[in-house]
Structure 1
Amino acid sequence: MQIEQAREFILNKLNKELPEHFYYHNGAHAIDVYTASKLIAESEGIGGHEISLLLTAALYHDSGFLLGGQTDHELRSCEIARLNLPRFGYLPEDIEQICDIIMATKMPQSPHNHLGEIICDADLDYLGRNDFFVLSKKLFSELVITNGLKTEQEWNERQVAFLRDHHYFTKTAIALRGPAKQQHLEEIIEKTF
């Protein structure tokens, strides 16, 4: 598997071909999820072939936005992975595992193995980070265009509901991001209600 070449290929596509209004779901987000996946995986004792599959899934997990639309972009991400990863030395069984990991990120998240749990936590790592409000604003701006979101009040109400329902899966993310995520929830409640 030529993960560096697969990474360069998809980041180039995301950076050049995504419409400009993808302020959140873009190449920077792919790198963000890749970085968080690596950090969580290493902390959780994942290495070798498994971490390569996980990191590839992180890079490709939102590539389906290249094919348009919001719904089922994970399935389209798998189409892109199946079409392109063979040229980088990925075997069919590797690609199917990568797609399984990608599909865990579909909302509501439903991982059924440790790699799925890690990517789910990495995908929403920002919920418990210092840059939460910066990234939240980017996501709001994107959803105004792609999802018909109207007001910041509506966004804050959605965020409160989402943060209340969300839970991290891995011990690493629970410890690392849980407390700050709770603080962000309290801040949004305070300014919204």
Structure 2
Amino acid sequence: MSILVKEAEKYIFDLFSKKLSNKFVYHNLAHTQRVVKEVQGFIDSLKLSEQDAENLLVAAWFHDTGFIKGAENHEQESVKILTQFLQEKKVEVKRIEAISALIMATKMGHKPANDLEKIITDSDCAHLGDKTFDDKSALLRREWETLANKKFTDAEWLATNIDFLINVHKYHSEYALKNWTKGKDKNLSKLLINQKKLEDELKKNKKKKEALDLKKNKSNVPERGVETMFRVALKNHMTLSNIADTKANILLSVNAIIVSLALSNLLPKLDNPSNNYLILPTVVFIIFTVASIILSILATRPNVTQGKFTKEDVANKKVNLLFFGNFHQMELSDFEWGISEMMQDRDYLYGSLTKDLYFLGLVLNRKYKILRLTYTVFMIGIIVSVLTFAIAFKIQETGTFL
């Protein structure tokens, strides 16, 4: 290491320790040392003249000294500090200008004019291609928020970094392209993955918020209106169920009377050989009547369920405690506990009423389907039986149907 470089290093240590604000958590001595280290890596890998190497190292030590006076136009301030230092060391003007140009090359957006400018520019952004990128990015964000009052959300900061890596920054030297591009691409991929995760999380939170808002809006529905709706709907279903049962009972009674009359009046006459023509009509009549009776019974036959539930069923809101079939074999204490839990949970209570209404509708659907079939069988049976009796009487009287 040359004497000039050693003196520059000592000068920078003393300058930053005395005049640089602690608020510069990124642009500080540690950052300067890292840039110097990267420049030294270039020097060790490339065949540079002793003066070019010395110029690069001095420029690296001084490139951020202007931050002692603030972030704005810090490159120009760095050049002023460098110029004063080199003049005191009796360095020729032409060389001072060359080192100053290297410092100005680190300004954002500058296009390097030669290999030395490429080296210092790439060294200044070497962290973009190594594993410390996340840490350095966090420090830069903190510095901007503290000193420039630039506030970023996580999504905004990710977008800013992604845009910088894709659209703004690029390495210029062959050494940087070979050694740091792969790391930069990895860091960019990590940012894109984090951005996708954050977007998914934001969408998830948005859906949760919408669900909560919807739930809140639902909770604003008047309780009396909801209760009236359930009361009217359940009453209508029960009325329809009673009508179905009444119709089934009527058909059951009528067909039972018909069978009784048939058995008491028709069957005794069948013993007489002269009444053989009545056998077929009687059998047809009785078959349709018995079928109507069976269908009427099916329409009104109750469905027996297990009649038990567990505390897990209540906790998971899987059981409807408003239907007797779900609790008729439970102990009173367990049933009272379940009802108490349900009454404390508004969603569970209304959910149970909704299920009760739904399954009652399924029962009604089954009843009315069977009832419709029963009426159809009864009607066809009457028609077929009457026609059969008429044909039988005609054949008996004339000996032929025609």
TM-score (norm 1): 0.94
Task: For 1:16, give the aligned amino acid.
Answer: K
* Contiguous gaps of at least 5 residues in structure 1: none
The worse-fitting range, judged by mean Cα deviation, of 167-176 and 146-155 is 146-155
1:98 aligns with 2:99: yes
Task: For 2:35, give the aligned amino acid.
Answer: V
1:10 aligns with 2:12: yes
Q: 1: distance between equivalents of 2:37 and 2:86?
A: 20
| Cα shift at 1:139 | 1.0
Cα deviation per residue 1:50-99 (whole Å; 9 max; x = unaligned)? 0000100000001111112x221111100111112222342222211111
Task: For 2:170, give the aligned amino acid.
Answer: H
By relative contact order (CA 8 Å, sep 6+), the higher-ranking structure is: 1
Task: For 1:91, give the aligned amino acid.
Answer: E
Q: 1: distance between equivalents of 2:87 and 2:8?
A: 10
Cα deviation per residue 1:26-66 (whole Å; 9 max; x = unaligned)? 11111111110110233232230100001000000011111
TM-score (norm 2): 0.46
Match of 2:350 in 1: none
1:186 aligns with 2:178: no
Residue in structure 2 matching 1:33, options 32, 35, 45: 35
| Cα shift at 1:22 | 0.4
Secondary structure of the residue aligned to 1:22 is: coil
Residue in structure 1 matching 2:180, options 168, 177, 180: 177
Match of 2:119 in 1: 118
1:73 aligns with 2:74: yes
The worse-fitting range, judged by mean Cα deviation, of 144-153 and 11-20 is 144-153
Match of 1:141 in 2: 142
Q: 2: distance between equivalents of 1:89 and 1:33?
A: 26
Cα deviation per residue 1:105-124 (whole Å; 9 max; x = unaligned)? 10113211111000000000
Secondary structure of the residue aligned to 2:81 is: helix
Match of 2:83 in 1: 82
Q: 2: distance between equivalents of 1:92 and 1:45?
A: 25
Q: 2: distance between equivalents of 1:38 and 1:11?
A: 18
Q: Which is helix-richer, 1 or 2?
A: 2
Match of 1:128 in 2: 129
Q: What is the alpha-carbon root mean square deviation over aligned residues?
A: 1.4
Q: 2: distance between equivalents of 1:17 and 1:179?
A: 37
Task: For 1:95, give the aligned amino acid.
Answer: I
Task: For 1:97, give the aligned amino acid.
Answer: A
Secondary structure of the residue aligned to 2:22 is: coil
Secondary structure of the residue aligned to 1:41 is: helix
The worse-fitting range, judged by mean Cα deviation, of 175-184 and 34-43 is 34-43
Residue in structure 2 matching 1:167, options 167, 170, 177: 170
Task: For 2:65, give the aligned amino acid.
Answer: S
| Cα shift at 1:153 | 2.4
* Contiguous gaps of at least 5 residues in structure 2: 197-402
Task: For 1:47, give the aligned amino acid.
Answer: S
Match of 1:156 in 2: 158
| Cα shift at 1:14 | 1.4
Task: For 2:195, give the aligned amino acid.
Answer: T
Task: For 2:172, give the aligned amino acid.
Answer: F
The worse-fitting range, judged by mean Cα deviation, of 135-144 and 9-18 is 9-18
| Cα shift at 1:132 | 1.1
Q: Aligned residue pairs: how many?
A: 192
Spell out the pairing of 1:53-72 with structure 2 (5 A cutoff).
53-68=55-70, 70-72=71-73
Aligned residues with identical type, % of pairs = 30
Match of 1:21 in 2: 23
Task: For 1:64, give the aligned amino acid.
Answer: G
